[in-house]
Structure 1
Amino acid sequence: MTHLLDGQTALVTGASGGIGRAIARRLAAEGAAVALHCRTAVAAARETAAAIGDGRAIVVQGDLGDERTCHRVVREAADRCGGRLTALVNNAAVQPVQPLPGMTAADWRAVVDTNLTSVFACTQAAAELMRAQSAGGTITHIASIEATHPAPGHAHYSAAKAAVVMHARAAALEYGPFGIRVNTVSPGLIDREGLSESWPEGVRRWQEAAPTGRLGSPEDVANAVLFLTSPLASWITGHDLVVDGGVSARPTW
C-alpha cells in the first residue's frame, strides 16, 4: 500500500502540543519519517513518537528563540532521520494575552523571536539542506487568521503571524527555483482540553459566527498541512490556506 508521503522525512516544530502532535501523527500515517521538536515537554513528545512507532519518529529538543539552536535542531533532525530532510512544518509558537498599552519591547521580542524569527531561521536551515539534496522540499508555516483579524491583547502575536504569512510568500519566491515550496496554514479557533470551561463566552461566539457551527480540531489543521506537504499540492506555493470553518467569510458590519 502506498502513501502520500512515502520516502519523505519531516521536522515538525512544537510537536508536543495539540496541533503539532496531530500534524506529526498525520504525516507519519502517510508514510513520512518524522522528527518531533519540543522545547521543554520532552515526555509528551516522546509519548507521541512512541505512538507513531515502527522507529519512524524521533525527538529533538531546543529553544527556537535562539537562531543557532534553530539551525542545530534542523541539522539534528536530518542527521537522525537518514541524513535528509524533505519537509519542515514551522508550528512552534507562543500566544500570551497582553494589552498593547504597557507592553515592553522585551515582551514584544519574546513573542516575535519565538513566532517569527524561529520561522526565518528554521526555514533558512532547512532550505539549505533541501537545496543540497537537489530534490527540493516543502516548508509549511502555521500562521493564524489573526494575521488579518487581530484580537485584543494579541498585538504582538497578530503582527508576528502577519509577518509569517509574508515570509512564506517571500520564501516561495526566492526558493522556488530550487524546487522548494513554501506555504502557510492559518487556523481559526482550535479546540483544546478545557477551552469550553475556561472561555465559554468565546466558544459560544465562535460557534455562532462560524458557518460550520463548530470549533476546529487539531486534525483539521493537520489535514491542511498534509495536503500542502504532499504531491497533491505540487503547483501550490506562496499560498495561505485558511482553516477556520468559514469565520473569515462572515460580514463584519
Structure 2
Amino acid sequence: MNSGLSNKVVIITGASGGIGSAIARKFAAEGAKVVLHYRNNRAQAEALRKELKDVESLVIRADLTKEADVKRLFSAATKKFGRVDNLIANAGSWETRDIPLHEMSLKQWRQTMDGVLTSAFLTTREFLRIVARQKRGNAVLIASTAGVFGEAGHADYASAKSAMAFGMTRTLKNEISRIAPHTADYCGGRFNCVCPGWTVVPRTAPKLTDAKAVRKVTSTMALPQIARPDDIANAVVFLSSDTLARHITGQTLVVAGGMEGRLLWQPDEINPDIV
C-alpha cells in the first residue's frame, strides 16, 4: 500500500537509539528524506546515515533542552531540504534506576522533566512554527506505557510521558488543525502519539535477560512477548501517512501487546489469609 511518504522530509529526534533508528529505516524504506538527530552517539548516527544511502539524509547534533540547539536543528533541516513535513519526537532521557518519589531529588525531577517534556515542547514548538508557514505538517510523539499505567520508581518519567501522551497530544491536534487546515486536497495537519511498552533495545537488553523480569513485564499482556523496534516504527509510519491515516488525529496508540496495566505483586508476596 502506498504511504505517500516518498520525498517527505522527516525529522526524527533520538535517531541514534534503538527505536529511533528503526523509525528512520522505515521512513527511508518509504522514500522519505530523513533528518537524523542525536545528542551523544554520533558514531551510531553516522553509521545509520551510511546505511540509509538510498535516500537523502542529514545528521545533526543537538541538546533538545536548549532553545538555541533546537532552532539550529530545524534551521539546518529547512536550509537543506526547504521544508519539514513530519516530526517524530522520539528523544528523551531519564534516570534508569528505580527511585521512589519520597527518595527522589528535585534535581532528578527537573532533569527528567527537561529531558523528556521540555525537549518535546521545544521541538514541537519549532516544528509548529514551520507548519504555520507551510500550512501542512504532521507530528507523532513517542511517549510510553509508563505515562498510561504509571511506573513505580519512575514517577518523574511517568509524569512527563503522561503529559505528552494526553495533555500535549489532545491539545496540539486542535492547534495544528488551525494552522494547517484541511482543504479539498489535503486532510489537514494531524498530531498523534505512540506509547511503546517494553521493547528490545540496547538500553533494556540487560534487564530482559532475566526470566523473572520478563515474566513480570509480560504478565498483563494479551500477547505476552516483548516488542521489537519495528513494531513501534510501523505504527509511527502509519500515523505519519496522510494517505493511510488521513482521518486519525489526537490519538494515543499503545503498542504493548494488549497490556492492561502493571503487575504490582508476585504471588508469594500476598497473604491470602488477610485479603
Q: TM-score range by the shorter chain?
A: over 0.9
- In the alignment, which residue of structure 1 is the partner of 2:90? 91
- What amino acid maps onto 2:44 in structure 1? A
Could you tell me whether the CA contact under 8 Å between 1:67 and 1:118 is conserved in 2?
no
**RMSD over aligned Cα, in angstroms?**
2.1
- In the alignment, which residue of structure 2 is the partner of 1:139? 139
- In the alignment, which residue of structure 2 is the partner of 1:189? 198
Name the SS of the counterpart of 2:102 in structure 1: coil
Name the SS of the counterpart of 1:148 in structure 2: helix
Quote the offset at 1:196 in angstroms: 5.1
Quote the offset at 1:79 in angstroms: 1.9
Superposition pairs of residues 241-252 of structure 1, within 5 angstroms: 241-248=253-260
Larger radius of gyration: 2
TM-score (norm 2): 0.85
Could you tell me whether the CA contact under 8 Å between 2:7 and 2:31 is conserved in 1?
yes
- Cα distance in 2 for partners of 1:163, 1:250 equals 19
- Cα distance in 2 for partners of 1:153, 1:78 equals 40
- Cα distance in 1 for partners of 2:30, 2:222 equals 30
- Cα distance in 1 for partners of 2:73, 2:110 equals 21
- Cα distance in 1 for partners of 2:208, 2:171 equals 40
Cα 1:252–1:4, aligned 2, differ >3 Å: closer, same or farther?
farther
Cα 1:214–1:147, aligned 2, differ >3 Å: closer, same or farther?
same
- In the alignment, which residue of structure 2 is the partner of 1:103? 104
- Cα distance in 2 for partners of 1:33, 1:222 equals 16
- Cα distance in 2 for partners of 1:99, 1:241 equals 27
- 1:122-154 CA deviation, whole Å, 9 max, x = no partner? 1111111122123x1111100111112112211
Could you tell me whether the CA contact under 8 Å between 1:50 and 1:57 is conserved in 2?
no
- Cα distance in 2 for partners of 1:3, 1:211 equals 29
- 1:18-77 CA deviation, whole Å, 9 max, x = no partner? 000000110111111000000010110111111111352210101112122222212222
Quote the offset at 1:78 in angstroms: 2.4
- Cα distance in 2 for partners of 1:132, 1:246 equals 39
- 1:90-148 CA deviation, whole Å, 9 max, x = no partner? 000123132212322221111111111111111111111122123x1111100111112
- In the alignment, which residue of structure 1 is the partner of 2:215? 204
Name the SS of the counterpart of 1:185 in structure 2: strand
Cα 1:94–1:200, aligned 2, differ >3 Å: closer, same or farther?
farther
Could you tell me whether the CA contact under 8 Å between 1:45 and 1:59 is conserved in 2?
yes
Could you tell me whether the CA contact under 8 Å between 1:190 and 1:216 is conserved in 2?
yes
Cα 1:55–1:230, aligned 2, differ >3 Å: closer, same or farther?
closer
- What amino acid maps onto 1:83 in structure 2? G
| Structure 1 or 2: more helix by fraction | 1
State how many pairs are aligned. Answer: 251
- In the alignment, which residue of structure 1 is the partner of 2:151? 151
Name the SS of the counterpart of 2:201 in structure 1: coil
Structure 1 residue runs of 5 or longer lacking an equivalent are none
Q: Percent identity?
A: 36
Greater Cα offset, 125-134 or 97-106: 97-106
- 1:196-243 CA deviation, whole Å, 9 max, x = no partner? 555432212223332112100110010010011002111111110110
Q: 2:171 matched to 1:170?
A: yes
Name the SS of the counterpart of 1:16 in structure 2: coil
Structure 2 residue runs of 5 or longer lacking an equivalent are 181-188, 266-275
